[in-house]
């Protein structure tokens, strides 16, 4: 049997990560099995254990990769320039597309948060996700204060943490209310915190 090259090794790992995210979003965190992920990735179930020690590690790596992808898209859009309002709008648009608009993601996130209470790897994932949101918000707010678009008295750290909490609250609101949460709702409430 031919050995995997480093490139195909990494490609298989990435395929497993994408499949895991898709299965988690489709079936929910608790119902996700390594067998279902293997089927979705088109690999033998034993292949998963070549890359990940257990389901928790697979979930952690999968969601971390998705969070990184979302954050990188938001940072790219943020660096495209424009006013603080325009940059914040683009960052929120990316967050909304990845988190609220994509079916199943809000439900999966609420399950992930519940698991974080007892599983350290999942708790780390949740903390990393929140920290990425805070950092992006801080960059936008600091730039907005520097250009005079945002009030000088606005504390970037406090406002960014409030925005991260608000975004998490939107996830729960999406789970509670279904499709009623619009991007305009998100934008209006975040702008209120940012002083826009």
Q: How many CB atoms lie within 10 A of CB 54?
A: 12
Nearest to 124 by CA among 138, 137, 113: 113
Residue 1 domain-assigned (yes or no):
no
Give me the percent of the chain exceeding a pLDDT of 90. Answer: 34
Cβ atoms of residues 40 and 23 within 8 Å: yes
Residue 146 domain-assigned (yes or no):
yes
Residue 118 domain-assigned (yes or no):
yes
Residue 78 domain-assigned (yes or no):
yes
Determine the Cα–Cα distance for residues 122 and 5; give it in Å rounded to an integer: 31
Question: For the residues 46-61, what does the mean pLDDT come to?
Answer: 88
**Looking at residue 14, which CATH number applies to its domain?**
1.10.357.10
Nearest to 187 by CA among 104, 90, 110: 90
pTM over 0.85: no
The range of the structural domain enclosing residue 167 comes to 6-194
Residue 40 domain-assigned (yes or no):
yes
Residue 178 domain-assigned (yes or no):
yes
Question: For the residues 179-186, what does the mean pLDDT come to?
Answer: 85
Residue 12 domain-assigned (yes or no):
yes
Out of 33-37, 107-111, 125-129, 175-179, pick the least confident.
175-179
Number of structural domains in the chain: 1
Cβ atoms of residues 63 and 24 within 8 Å: yes
Q: How many CB atoms lie within 10 A of CB 31?
A: 11
Give 126-141 pLDDT, tens digit per residue. Answer: 898 899 899 999 999 9
Determine the Cα–Cα distance for residues 95 and 100; give it in Å rounded to an integer: 8
Residue 136 domain-assigned (yes or no):
yes
């Amino acid at each position: 049997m031919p050995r995997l090259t480093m490139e195909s090794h990494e490609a298989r790992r990435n395929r497993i990560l994408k499949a895991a995210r898709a299965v988690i979003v489709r079936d929910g965190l608790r119902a996700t099995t390594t067998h279902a992920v293997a089927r979705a990735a088109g690999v033998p179930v034993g292949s998963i254990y070549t890359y990940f020690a257990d389901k928790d590690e697979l979930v952690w790596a999968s969601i971390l990769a998705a969070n990184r992808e979302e954050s990188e898209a938001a940072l790219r859009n943020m660096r495209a320039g424009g006013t603080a309002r325009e940059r914040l709008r683009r960052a929120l648009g990316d967050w909304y597309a990845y988190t609220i608009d994509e079916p199943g993601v809000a439900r999966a996130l609420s399950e992930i948060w519940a698991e974080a209470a007892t599983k350290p790897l999942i708790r780390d994932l949740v903390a990393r996700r929140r920290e990425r949101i805070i950092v992006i918000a801080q960059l936008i707010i600091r730039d907005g204060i520097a250009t005079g678009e945002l009030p000088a008295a606005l504390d970037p750290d406090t406002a960014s943490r409030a925005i991260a909490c608000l975004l998490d609250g939107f996830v729960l609101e999406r789970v509670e209310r279904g499709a009623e949460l619009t991007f305009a709702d998100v934008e209006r409430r975040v702008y209120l915190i940012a002083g826009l």
